[in-house]
Amino acid sequence: MIDVPRFGLGCAPLGNLFEELSEEQAHALLTAAWDAGVRYFDTAPHYGLGLSEQRLGRFLAGKPRDEYVVSTKVGRLLRENPSWDGTALDATGFVVPAGLRRELDYSPEGVRASVEDSLTRLGLDRIDILFVHDPDLSGDPGATESALTALADLRAEGMVAAIGTGTLGIDALLTTARSGLADVLMVANRYTLLDQSVAPDVLSACDDHDVRIIAAAVFNSGLLASTPTRDAKYDYNDVPEEVFTRALELDTICSAHGVALPAAALRYPLQDPRVLAVVAGATTPSQVHQNLAHLTTPIPAALWQTLAAHNLIAPPS
């Protein structure tokens, strides 16, 4: 199994997720993360139609290759958008021109083409971890295993060290864990204080097949990144009322134990020995520093016990 630092910077914001970052802001963000010791970076072609990979690649150019870990994803090929009018922005939440379009392709040929394109954008000759990205969106029940088989071939060729699936979809995560091909799952939004859908089936499958987990989007797209507000995002969308109520309850209990909600959110998955790392995005250097500080915040065992007693998380094992 690849050695992964326990904290990774989620690089969707480098693709202008929900808001535009200038080149100078993106560089300052990455510089702050690097200077603070962050050495794991997670990106994808989907993030800003390749912009995230390009910005990350420019920053890492000249950095010692053995000092950092990069994960990216396959499943979305970026191709010219013939219907682009020259001004329209991407419609999937990234503030970038829609001059390219995404083609879902989980075939062996599509996987290899995606990896080659990512290597070009990143300026690398190998990827540390490759994830099948959201295969549940394809509508093809065989998409996950088809792409994983292709990734396993690339792993055998030495182009990648570890493979798996990164998605919100529990079925795809379960298929991946049971496949016998995967090293690691990137569980997005589904191993958090607000959503523990990975239990029990995915976790049991990981035990059965020696698969590890990287918990991504542990703030559920921002709702848990601070005191919950109604204008925050949850799973990349508006926050349902019942979820907002639960988030407020989490915040109240954390405060009663002297713990900031985002600190608890970052630390919660790391209690599980299956979890190698947590991944969280940031848009400013201060957010990077805050997240790293949260990782060293003392968390009293009583907090987890109280959350379990309120049926907000599973009882501590």
Q: What is the pLDDT of residue 25?
A: 98
Query: What is the model's pLDDT at position 236?
Result: 84
pLDDT of residue 317: 55
- Residue-level pLDDT, tens digit, the chain, 317 residues: 689 999 999 999 999 999 999 999 999 999 999 999 999 999 999 999 999 999 999 999 989 999 999 999 999 999 999 999 999 999 999 999 999 999 999 999 999 999 999 999 999 999 999 999 999 999 999 999 999 999 999 999 999 999 999 999 999 999 999 999 999 999 999 999 999 999 999 999 999 999 999 999 999 988 999 999 999 989 888 999 999 999 999 999 999 999 999 999 999 999 999 999 999 999 999 999 999 999 999 999 999 999 999 999 987 65
Kindly report the pTM of this predicted structure: 0.96
Rounded to whole angstroms, the Cα distance separating 161 from 144 reads 19
Who contacts 4 (Cβ-Cβ below 8 Å, separation ≥6)? 40, 69, 129, 184, 214, 276, 277
302-308 contact pairs (CB < 8 A, 24+)? 302/257, 303/253, 303/254, 303/257, 303/259, 303/264, 304/268, 304/271, 306/253, 306/256, 306/257, 307/193, 307/250, 307/253
Class of the CATH domain delimited by 7-309: alpha beta
pLDDT value for 220: 93
Is the sign of the CA dihedral 43, 46, 52, 58 positive or negative?
positive
Rg (CA), the chain: 19
Residue 117 in contact with residue 77, Cβ under 8 Å? yes
Confidence (pLDDT) at 315: 73
Are 314 and 196 in contact by the 8 Å Cβ rule? The answer is: yes
End-to-end CA distance of the chain: 24
Burial of 161 (0-12, 13-18, 19+ CB in 10 A): middle
Q: Provide the annotated active-site residues.
A: 47
